Amino acid sequence: MLKIAIIGDYQPEAKAHIAIPQAIALAAEHLQCQAELQWLPTPELNNTTISLLSGYDAVWAAPATPYIHMEGALQAIRYAREQQIPTLGTCGGYQHLLIEFARHVLHLQEADHAESNPEANTLIVTPLTCSVNEQTHHFTLKPHSKIATIYGMTEISEQYGICNYGLNAQYVDLFAEQGFAITGRDWNGEARIAELENHPFYVGTLFQPERSAFRNVVHPLIRAFLHSALSHSQTAGTFTIPSSQSE
């Protein structure tokens, strides 16, 4: 039984929160395994509870932000990154993967989010050039990247939720220098997907792959996420990414 931790403050009306359990169930059925989900509300995440994440096989930083307790979410994300737990961040979750990395790897201790703290000195997540609302866009993937291997192609189409913020372009190179590279860009060339080197699975997307569950589709990224969780559960080692061209 895979144990998947969902970092986020559950909102029954949030489409992504409805979709995530469905998307994981579809991928688990495809991989012929069982997966148990546990929502971890951000106010309950602190120094005494973060170690509980050691009992999970994967962590998903969920959309629908700002989180109630941003610091709790960032602590959980940091633990997952440092302990090599397979991690997926989508939409707002992806944005917080960026902020955590900026604070604790890039040493930008005041790194923050323009939505929750627009007056911060170091804004890592800033307003998008064009906000998106329930739109499907085309994305170009970096050849030979983990994300391109997962999809089995370098051009994809994916759906956003309601999104107004993304990575501040002035920090793209700094992230890449420390191994958190942009491997997917939208039609306008702006950063939309990032993945961390030297980690079993650490991927963030500004779009919401979980929306595929509403079409009863097993999403290749979520399938790869669970495949990594299986590997973590069984061997705590590395894994081979299943491309969309292999079953």
Q: Which two tokens stand for residue 142?
A: 């970096």
pTM for the model? 0.92
Give the model's pLDDT for residue 169.
Answer: 96
- Hey, where are the domains in the chain? 2-234
Round to whole Å and give the CA distance between 109 and 172. 17
DSSP 196-224: ETTSSSEEEESS-GGGGGGGT---HHHHH
Cα first-last separation, the chain: 21
Helix (H, G, I), strand (E, B) or coil at 102: helix
Which CATH number among 3.40.50.9100, 1.10.10.10, 3.40.50.2000, 3.40.50.880 corresponds to the domain 2-234? 3.40.50.880
Helix (H, G, I), strand (E, B) or coil at 9: coil
Helix (H, G, I), strand (E, B) or coil at 43: helix
Round to whole Å and give the CA distance between 220 and 161. 19
Average pLDDT of adjacent 10-residue blocks, the chain of 247 residues = 96 97 98 96 86 92 96 96 97 98 98 96 91 86 97 95 92 98 93 96 97 97 98 64 40
Give the model's pLDDT for residue 129.
Answer: 78
| 66 within 8 A of 163, measured Cβ to Cβ | no
Beta strands at 162-167 and 122-133: parallel, antiparallel or unpaired: antiparallel
Beta strands at 191-196 and 180-186: parallel, antiparallel or unpaired: antiparallel
Give the model's pLDDT for residue 246.
Answer: 36
Give the model's pLDDT for residue 20.
Answer: 98
Q: Which two tokens stand for residue 138?
A: 């085309």
Identify the burial level of 183 via C-beta atoms within 10 angstroms of its C-beta, where 0-12 means exposed, 13-18 middle and 19 or more buried: buried
At position 155, the amino acid (one-letter code) is E
CA distances for 22 relative to 7, 126, 218, angstroms: 16, 30, 10
CA distances for 3 relative to 77, 226, 233, angstroms: 16, 10, 9
Helix (H, G, I), strand (E, B) or coil at 162: strand
Give the model's pLDDT for residue 50.
Answer: 81
Give the model's pLDDT for residue 49.
Answer: 77
Round to whole Å and give the CA distance between 18 and 27. 15
Task: Please choose, from the candidates 174, 207, 167, 163, the residue with its C-alpha nearest in 3D space to the C-alpha of residue 191.
Answer: 167
Round to whole Å and give the CA distance between 237 and 235. 5
Please tell me what DSSP assigns to residue 53. G
Q: Which two tokens stand for residue 80?
A: 């997952």
